[in-house]
Chain A
Amino acid sequence: GQQLNQSPQSMFIQEGEDVSMNCTSSSIFNTWLWYKQEPGEGPVLLIALYKAGELTSNGRLTAQFGITRKDSFLNISASIPSDVGIYFCAGYMEYGNKLVFGAGTILRVKS
């Protein structure tokens, strides 16, 4: 079925470093969402994007909706240990009213 290509698969970074991850698709989405999942928990919504070219921030997190509507980026500045988790991108498909998720980026931070 529909799949989003999310990269990188995993990252192991030093505390204080900036992080970038992205998601691409062969399909156009009108909504892009970014979620974070911590161990033993369900994904939690971080940022939602609704317009091509939109840039939205949530604290140290910044996400962008690609101009082509086929990609999105998430940046985390000055990473801290609690940023550890799996980050998922998701695109909303009006047909079928469902979210399509990427495979996730596993983020590990060493202090």
Chain B
Amino acid sequence: EAGVTQSPTHLIKTRGQQATLRCSPISGHTSVYWYQQALGLGLQFLLWYDEGEERNRGNFPPRFSGRQFPNYSSELNVNALELEDSALYLCASSYSGTETYGYTFGSGTRLTVV
């Protein structure tokens, strides 16, 4: 069974540009979560999608947005990039309703803003 896959692995953008990150969940998983891992700050919750709908978002500005497609894959968009957006962005998935059993994470997309 393929795990959670994220693309691209690395992304370099200039301040002010937009970045698009992609995630494919484990087959059968309908919930997708996005986390930001900045150096020394642990994992900060960004967004939760389930069945195509945004269910919850963390304390991030509106320029962080995303969507979930009918095949449950997901996209995270970051507009008007700032230097402090540089981080590892992790996607995770789970069967809806089994979140207490933990998520399965992908390997992440390393975003560098210069």
| A interface with B by C-beta (< 8 Å) | 1, 4, 6, 30-31, 33, 35, 40-45, 48, 50, 88, 90, 92, 96-104
Q: Which of B26-80 contact A (CB under 8 A)?
A: 33, 35, 40-45, 48, 55-56, 58-59
Q: Which of B83-101 contact A (CB under 8 A)?
A: 90, 92, 99-101
Contact (Cβ within 8 A) A33 B102: yes
Q: Which residue of B lies closest to A100 (CB)?
A: B45
Q: How many A-B residue pairs have CB under 8 A?
A: 66
- Give bound CA distance, A99 to B4, whole Å: 17
Contact (Cβ within 8 A) A98 B42: no
Residues of B within 8 A of A41 (CB): 107-108
The A interface, classified by DSSP as helix, strand, loop or mixed, is strand
Residues of B within 8 A of A101 (CB): 35, 42-44
